[in-house]
Amino acid sequence: MRAASRSALFATFFICGASTNGLIQTHFIPLCADFGLPAVGAASVLAMMGIFDFFGTIRSRTATTTAGSSPGTTDCAASC
């Protein structure tokens, strides 16, 4: 993978991660409380989102490897 492509991929994943940490994780539980879901239930939903994110990342790595893509793409998919 060329350096420019890798930098663009890194930048998009960085922005996605920063927005997830800054917006979703900070405001999700109070938002759920506004809709009547208790804090423990909201935290459980947030934990499930994290678990699905973790296994989805692993699955995307497996799918990229199976599809026979270039090693650079596979490395980037695994690092996210």
Domain that holds residue 48: 40-80
What total number of domains does the chain contain? 1
* Whole-prediction pTM: 0.58
d(CA 66, CA 33): 42
d(CA 75, CA 55): 16
d(CA 5, CA 73): 10
Evaluate whether residue 70 is within a structural domain.
yes
Evaluate whether residue 30 is within a structural domain.
no
In the structure, what pLDDT confidence band is assigned to residue 37 with cuts at 50, 70 and 90? Answer: very high
Q: Which residue shows structure tokens 């994780």?
A: 25
**Rounded to 5°, angle at Cα 49 from 35 and 74:** 150
Evaluate whether residue 79 is within a structural domain.
yes
Evaluate whether residue 74 is within a structural domain.
yes
Percent of the chain with pLDDT over 90: 21
d(CA 80, CA 13): 7
Evaluate whether residue 5 is within a structural domain.
no
